[in-house]
Amino acid sequence: MPEGLKTAVIGLGSMGWGAAVSLLRAGFPTTGVDIRPTVCAAFVEKGGRSTPLPSEAVADADVIFVFVVNAEQTEQVLFGENGAVAAAKPGSTFVLCVTMSPSYSVEVASRLDDAGMRVIDGPVSGGAEKALKGEMSIMASGAKETFAQIQPVLDAIATKIFQLGEEPGVGSRVKMINQLLAGVHIAAMGEALTLGVKAGLDVKMLYEVIIECAGNSWMFENRGRHVVEGDYSPKSAVDIFVKDLGIVTSEGKATGFSLPLSETALALFKEAKEAGYGREDDSAVAKIYARKSGISLPGTSGN
C-alpha cells in the first residue's frame, strides 16, 4: 500500500472517474461516491469500493477528493445530510477539485479548517482522457506540509501539479482564467469550422489543416474533432460552460472588469442549452452556428 494512504473520491463523473481509477491503478485503496448505481457497480468491478453516501466513504479515508459539478453539490456532499465532513477523521485532507467561484472556495476552506481538516484548493484540467491516464493538471493552493503529506496521491492522478502558494482560493482563481480561455476557444472553434463549411470547404480537411497551423489551440484540436466526427456524447457538457463562464462573468462584474469575449461565449452556451443541447458535449455550440447559417454538420440531420 503506497505510503499507507487510503482515499475517497466524491463524484465519479468524467474527471472523478479518471482520478478514482488512477488511484486504484497506483495501489491506493479507494472508495468512490456516486448517486448512480451503475457507476458504483462499474467502480467495484475495477477493484474499488463504492457507496452513494459521502459519510460512508470517508470514515477511514486519509485523502478525500471532491469532484462534483458545482458549489451547490459541494455544499451538499460536504456539509449536508450524510455529508463527508462530519464523518471524516480529524486531520483528513480534502482536495477541492470542483470549478467554483474563488470566494466560495475560500469559504469552504475556512469551514474545513474550523472542522479540524486539512484542505487543498485544487481545481483540475486536462479532460476525461488525461484523467483516465492519471495525467491531469492540478492548479492548487494549500499548506506546504499538506502537499508533502499527500504528494504520492497527487502524483497518481496528475503529471502537472502547480503549487500556487498557501492562500485558499488561488487555485480557483487560476482555474477561472483557464475556463475563460477554454470557453472562448470552444466558441471560436464552432464559429471557425461552421464558417468553413458555409464557405464550401470540407470540414474534415479544414480541421486537419488548422491543427497544423498557427490558428490551432488545444480546444480547437480536441473539440473540433468531435464536430468532424459528429460525436456529441458528453466529455464535458454545454451545461458545464454555462456554469463556468457564469463564474467568470460574475467575478468580472464584481471587480468592474469588462469581459466582452467571455460574455459573448457565455451567451452562445446559454443559447445551446436553451436549444436542448445542455447535456451534449460542449462542442455542440457549433450546432447553433450551423442552424443559424442553414448548413449541416457531420452527424446532424438538417437544422
Q: Is the dihedral of CA 173, 175, 176, 178 positive or negative?
A: positive
C-alpha cell at 165: 502558494
Same domain membership, residue 139 and residue 177: no
Question: Which residue among 167, 190, 224 closes a domain?
Answer: 167
Residues of the chain above pLDDT 70, percent: 98
- What CATH number does the domain containing 58 carry? 3.40.50.720
Question: What is the span of the domain harbouring residue 140?
Answer: 2-167
Q: What is the mean pLDDT of the chain?
A: 95
Give the model's pLDDT for residue 65: 98
**275: which DSSP letter?**
I
Tally the domains of the chain: 2
Neighbour tally for 8: CB within 10 Å: 30
Residues of the chain above pLDDT 90, percent: 94
pLDDT-based confidence at residue 1 (cuts at 50, 70, 90):
very low
pLDDT-based confidence at residue 127 (cuts at 50, 70, 90):
confident
Summarised one tens digit per residue, pLDDT across range 52-90 is 999 999 999 999 999 999 999 999 999 999 999 999 999
Summarised one tens digit per residue, pLDDT across range 239-295 is 999 999 999 999 999 999 999 999 999 999 999 999 999 999 999 999 999 999 999
Active-site annotation holds for 175 = yes
Q: Of the listed 175, 235, 273, 287, which one is catalytic?
A: 175
Query: What integer is the mean pLDDT of 194-219?
Result: 97
Same domain membership, residue 9 and residue 105: yes
pLDDT-based confidence at residue 8 (cuts at 50, 70, 90):
very high
Q: Is 217 within the bounds of a domain?
A: yes
User: Kind and range of the H or E element at 16?
Assistant: helix 14-25
Neighbour tally for 257: CB within 10 Å: 11
Q: How far are the Cα atoms of 73, 228, 240 from residue 298, in angstroms, in the given order?
A: 35, 6, 23
Same domain membership, residue 116 and residue 8: yes
Three-state secondary structure call for residue 119: strand
- pLDDT over 50 at 172, yes or no: yes
pLDDT-based confidence at residue 2 (cuts at 50, 70, 90):
low
- pLDDT over 80 at 301, yes or no: no
Question: Which residue among 125, 146, 167 closes a domain?
Answer: 167
Please give the angle made by the CA atoms of 142, 144 and 146, to the nearest 5 degrees. Answer: 70
Question: Which residue among 115, 149, 167 closes a domain?
Answer: 167
- pLDDT over 70 at 231, yes or no: yes
